[in-house]
Structure 1
Amino acid sequence: MRKSEDQVIRTIGDRLEELARLAPDRLALVCGEDQLSRAAFAAAVARRAAVLARQTPQGAGIALAMGNSPALVAAFFACAVSDRQALVYDPAWPAGYRAAVDAALSPALTLADETPPQDVLPHPALSPPHPDAPFYVGFTSGSTGLPKGYRRGHRSWIDSFAVSEQAFGLTADDVILAPGGLSASLHLYGVVHALHIGAAAVMLRLFHPQRALEVIARHGVTALYATPTQLQMLARAAAEQGVALPSVRLILISGAKWRPQTRAAVAAAFPHAGIAEFYGASETSFISLTRPGEAVPPGSVGRAAPGVDLVIRDAAGRDLPPGTTGTIWVASAMLFDGYACGGGEETRREHGYLTIGDHGRLDAGGYLTLAGREKRMLVTSGLNVYPEEIEAVLVSAPGIAEAAVFGLPDPLRGVELVAVLRGPGAGDHAGLRAHCRRLLPAGKLPRRFVVLDDWPRTASGKVDLLALEARIAAGGAAGRGQMLQRS
């Protein structure tokens, strides 16, 4: 009896050679002006995989410290098919981040440029990886200077791919654009899934709204992954140019709650596109989702994704009834293996369920509404940000006695980072910005500074963060307070 495709295809990239044989000249990958056919991409992966097999042991971690490029994608797949682990670094990391991750993970090899391997030796036979073997370590913000490195096994992404196909109808006939940096799991996932199923994957070396619109029109993009911030920027650019992109049939949004106020602008830019929204995390893949056209309660992020068991529990681990806010716990086959580095107590496993510390509530219909995140984590422009990390950087600047970072609502980013400062150096906002740029990625730089000498405190003398945030949000800073807009 012939096995079904789902039973046979169980590891990332194991169809590349078959896809190349079926249609060698069909477009596989677009990045800027570079275009690779299925045959060319499969050959690039095979060459890189052969070199990795000769240079590193099975299961080794390979640091991919490259910007968006076909070389990065080929190297990622080469790690997967050769049973190595791709450690996908962000090339924009400050030197301290990079050094900390290198020290924690000790990669066997680092690939830092786009030069393809000049391989003339016979390719060694590669043993196929086990479906549960780890193939990828991605990174998300941690509460210290060390990013959290989450480890993924083949099966978890294969099962995630099945959800993408079932819930959103993505097929090999699609042209899928993931316009952001591949160090972010959303965009990496979009590109890898496309290539794995034989769809055309489209990416940009650097995200720019105008360039993204040109690429969509040129290649007839049918499906678009985007954060809400990127979608808003694309809609704004399309309106300014007076263009519409009718080829796009599906927009997939993640990274933060989409603001429906942009609906009219998005509909004008993408007149034939349905919008699907999904909530999840690097550690969980899909948790909940909404399908195009689905009527969803205001503020909800949808119902549990296929194959996901979603429950809300109190601090004692008891299941809570509908309408009650508590900790979100999920069970599915898509969960991560564990942290390769970093991590925190907010991420916990119990009896097959996982929580990353997010809080929310389910209604009687199973729709999930998010209430907040433990450990003060914020989401700005699709990036997870821990205020504690930024505060530590600010306090390390000359003349800063105390610092607190909050997120205030922002129509573009979802959340605008605002830093409240105390000390003789608090007014030197140019110096503070320069200090932060040396130590933090751009997405974590505060957009505004507030100088405040009179901080509210608890009875024990600790800063009352809730009272401080409320005062700043109300704009009524008592004592010496001055709002400084970041340029």
Structure 2
Amino acid sequence: MPITRTVLFTAAHEPSQPAIVGPEGALDYAGLVEDSRRVFAVVDAAHRAQDAPPPPAPETRGIPITAVSTSSAFHAARIVAGLAGYRAVSATIDPNWPLSHRVHVVVAAGIGLVIGDDPALAPALRDAGWTGTVLSLSEFRDREATAAPADPPTVREADEAFLLLFSSGTTSDPKAFLKTRRQYRENVAVSSAHLEPRPGVETLAPGPLSYSLTLYAVIECLATGGGAHLADRFDAAGLAQRVAAEGITRIVAVPAVVQVLIDGARRDPHAFAGLDLVVTGGANLPAALRDGLAAALPHVRLISYYGAAEIGFIGDSRGGDGTLLDVYDGIGAEIRDDEGHVVPDGELGTLWIRAAACSDGYLAATTDAVLRGSDGWATVHDMGRGVHGRLQLAGRAGDIVATGGHKVSLPEVERAFDAMPGLGTVCAVALPDPRLGSVVALVIEAPRPLGRSSLAREDGSAPGALPNASSPPHAVSDTPTKADLQAWARERLAPQFVPRRWYLLDRIPRTAGGKIRRPATSALIEQGEGIRL
């Protein structure tokens, strides 16, 4: 169901239903409609005041692009939602991206207005020859306070550009792609059928709006007449308080938040008595999180879905070890080899998807990468295999390594250690090897700083402190030994998947959303930052 049609309907029939709620404010549906009139009035005036506005990417068909780059999820959400009923394209840019990445996407995509608080951004954009406008969030709000409201929002044409999204900007320049209103409506149809957003349901979606998962949760809630409750930070006490006080029955979050939820439930399980469903992005949720949630909140259901922002929702996992996905009805899925041929069941290959919600392609100005083939099928280069009609993911193309003539999926190596007692976070990496080209190594995050390690290096000497570590060395007497790790791996993995090297690292690098940064982990090991077991 289109977002604006639902917003207008709910504002007319359930005006006090919460729409967007955050630490910095709250809007019900009636208030959201009125707020949107001032949001668009300020945005439209800012674009019109430019003497030489940056031409938006041709793919927008001339619609000006407004980007929000702020840590405030509430204000980012109300601006994006406020522009949804007007001729406008919105984007959310992660303020934690490197400055060069932010400048790249603003200039390349032809974004004309940026609302954000980084004082370094405006001069960097000017140096790049950009002619648009940067407003701080406080400047934007000051203009809203005095702006004459625009005409009320209206339902827009289905093929009009709606949102400008980006691939991850963590390690390389982000790729930009557009979603039309029709494509988002198709996406809402799929998620509504499987992930249970409902009219009047209060959903907590903690995290920056620059996360595609959080952004979609907001759109999904507004498109179905529910409440989107937002939070900028992940803390167990705050999570518990809001779930109880705001009547939250559904949480949509990245996997890192599931651990925060578990911690909060262990402290105060009664605060989560009304919680019914947790929906998390990223299939193959670690067993420790699945089991931890089931133990702390046995009445709460868990759905771990898989999708790609470029393509849309693809399938989910609801039980067992979470490694096998059921592909949603209406979504086509094929595993193909490098020549584009469909491979037999059980064989590793590239996942191709056919979905009505898929974007048309990446903006030409940001990349020459191809999203969709001439046959209409698309790939973001995730790897996987078919297993008796279900889908088993194996990671991105960069997660598949060749060692001794074999292809090895690093995420599958990690999953084999999910249930090992005494073992915390692990990361499988490929390290250079003169004989095999590369070998698989498992990096283990040290459990806690308690003193000198009881483990010995391969030469028999005590490892002592982690090289160049700023924190104290770790006691790892409760960490499995190398022999334990090897025995566990040999029972559960094919010989070529068994790691040949084992390392202890003070802290495995993660993104702001809690995802492990595999290249950064590998780099630390190659620089000698870990203890080899």
Pair in the same fold by TM > 0.5: yes
Does 2:222 match 1:199? no
Are the counterparts in 1 of residues 221 and 228 from structure 2 also a CA contact under 8 Å? yes
How many Å apart are 1:88 and its aligned residue?
Answer: 0.6
Of 336-345 and 195-204, the range deviating more from structure 2: 336-345
CA positional deviation for 1:93: 2.2
For the aligned residues, what is the CA RMSD? Answer: 3.5
The answer as to whether partners of 1:85 and 1:134 remain within 8 angstroms in 2 is: yes
Find out whether 1:363 has 2:387 as its counterpart.
Answer: yes
* Structure 1 Cα separation of the partners of residues 440 and 347 of structure 2: 29
What residue identity is the alignment partner of 2:297? F
Deviates more, 1:318-327 or 1:341-350: 341-350
What TM-score comes out, normalization by structure 2 length?
Answer: 0.67
Q: Is the 8 A contact 2:201 2:227 kept in 1?
A: yes
8 Å CA contact 1:137–1:149 kept in 2: the answer is yes
Residue 294 of structure 2 corresponds to 267
Q: Report the equivalent of 2:13.
A: 22
How many angstroms apart in 1 are the aligned matches of 2:24 and 2:78?
Answer: 16
Superposition pairs for residues 60-75 of structure 1, below 5 Å?
Answer: 60-75=64-79
Distance 1:406 1:118, change over 3 A: farther
Please say if residues 320 and 326 of structure 1, whose CA atoms lie closer than 8 Å, have aligned partners that are also in contact. Answer: yes
2:333 paired residue among 289, 310, 320: 310
Q: What secondary structure, in the 3-state scheme, does the structure 2 residue paired with 1:14 have?
A: helix
Q: What amino acid is aligned across from residue 73 of structure 1 in structure 2?
A: A
Structure 2 letter corresponding to 1:22:
H
What is the match of residue 211 of structure 2? 184
**Alpha-carbon distance between aligned partners in 2 of 1:304 and 1:13, rounded to the nearest angstrom:** 29
Structure showing greater Rg? 2
Residues 370-409 of structure 1 correspond to what in structure 2 (within 5 A)? Answer: 370-376=393-399, 408=443
**Counterpart secondary structure, 1:15:** helix
Q: Which amino acid aligns with 2:115?
A: L
Deviation at 1:332, TM superposition (A): 0.9
Q: Is the 8 A contact 1:301 1:367 kept in 2?
A: yes
Q: 1:158 to 1:234 in 2, by over 3 A?
A: same
Structure-1 residue corresponding to 2:346: 323
* Identity across the alignment (%): 26
Q: Which residue of 1 aligns with 2:422?
A: none
Report the alpha carbon displacement of residue 50 of structure 1 after superposing the two structures with TM: 3.2
Relative to structure 1, the CA distance from residue 301 to residue 83 in structure 2 (aligned partners, 3 Å threshold; closer, same or farther) is farther
Q: Are the aligned partners of 2:384 and 2:393 in contact in 1 as well (CA < 8 Å)? A: yes
| SS at structure 2 position matched to 1:321 | coil
| Pick aligned residue for 2:30 from 30, 39, 61 | 39
> Which secondary structure does the structure 2 equivalent of 1:173 belong to?
coil
In 2: Cα distance, 1:369 partner to 1:45 partner: 43
Q: Is the 8 A contact 1:53 1:124 kept in 2?
A: no
Give the counterpart letter for 1:375 in structure 2.
Answer: G
Check 1:287–1:203 CA distance in 2 against 1; reply closer, same or farther (3 A cut).
Answer: same
Output one character per residue of 1:429-463: Cα deviation in whole Å (capped at 9) or x when no partner. Answer: 77xxxxxxxxx97565946865658xxxxxxxxxx
Q: Is the 8 A contact 1:134 1:154 kept in 2?
A: yes
**1:74-473 alignment runs, 5 A limit:** 74-112=78-116, 113=137, 115-116=140-141, 117-121=144-148, 123-124=150-151, 128-141=155-168, 145-241=172-268, 243=270, 245-290=272-317, 292=318, 298-340=321-363, 342-343=366-367, 345=369, 347-364=371-388, 366-376=389-399, 408=443, 446=520, 450=524
Segments of structure 2 that go 5 or more residues without pairing to the other structure are: 49-61, 117-136, 401-409, 415-426, 431-438, 448-466, 471-509
* CA distance in 1: counterparts of 2:274 and 2:98, whole angstroms: 39
Change (3 A) 1:273 1:111: same
Q: Deviation digits for residues 162-200 of structure 1, max 9, x if unmatched?
A: 112211332113111111111001011112211222111
How far did 1:333 drift? 0.5
Question: How far apart, in 1, do the equivalents of 2:290 and 2:149 lie?
Answer: 55
Q: Distance in 1 between matches of 2:156 and 2:521?
A: 45
Q: Post-superposition shift, 1:139? A: 2.2
How many residues are paired up?
402
> 1:220, 1:247 within 8 Å by CA — same for their partners in 2?
yes
Structure 2: distance between partners of 1:201 and 1:66: 18
Instruction: Tell me the CA shift for residue 56 of structure 1.
Output: 3.3
Are the aligned partners of 1:325 and 1:360 in contact in 2 as well (CA < 8 Å)?
Answer: yes
Task: Give a deviation string over 1:229-272, Cα, whole Å, max 9, x none.
Answer: 21022202321455551211111111352122333431243332
Provide closer, same or farther for how the CA distance between residues 250 and 45 of structure 1 changes in structure 2, counting only shifts above 3 A. same
Q: Relative to structure 1, is the Cα distance of residues 80 and 406 closer, same or farther in structure 2, using a 3 angstrom cutoff?
A: farther
Moved more, 12-21 or 273-282: 12-21
Q: Report deviation, 1:406.
A: 8.7
Q: Does residue 510 of structure 2 align to residue 483 of structure 1?
A: no
Query: Do the aligned partners of residues 191 and 452 (structure 1) sit closer, same or farther apart at CA in structure 2, a change above 3 Å counting?
Result: closer
Rounded Cα–Cα distance in structure 1 between residues aligned with 2:442 and 2:156? 43
Structure 1: how far apart are the matches of 2:440 and 2:45?
A: 48
Distance change (3 Å), C-alpha of 1:304 and 1:222: same
Q: Distance in 2 between matches of 1:91 and 1:154?
A: 26
Distance change (3 Å), C-alpha of 1:286 and 1:212? same
2:322 and 2:28 map into 1 onto residues whose CA distance is: 42
Q: Could you report, residue by residue, the CA deviation over 1:142-166 in whole angstroms, capped at 9, with x for unpaired residues?
A: 5864122232111122111111221
Distance in 2 of aligned mates of 1:269 and 1:244: 12
Q: Is this contact kept in 1: 2:346–2:385, CA < 8 A? A: yes
- Structure 1 contact 17–42 (Cα < 8 Å) conserved: yes
Distance 1:429 1:261, change over 3 A: closer
**Deviation of residue 222 (structure 1)?**
0.9
Q: What is the TM-score with the length of structure 1 in the denominator? A: 0.73
Name which of structure 1's ranges 172-181 and 76-85 shifts more when overlaid on structure 2.
76-85
CA distance in 1, matches of 2:164, 2:350: 26
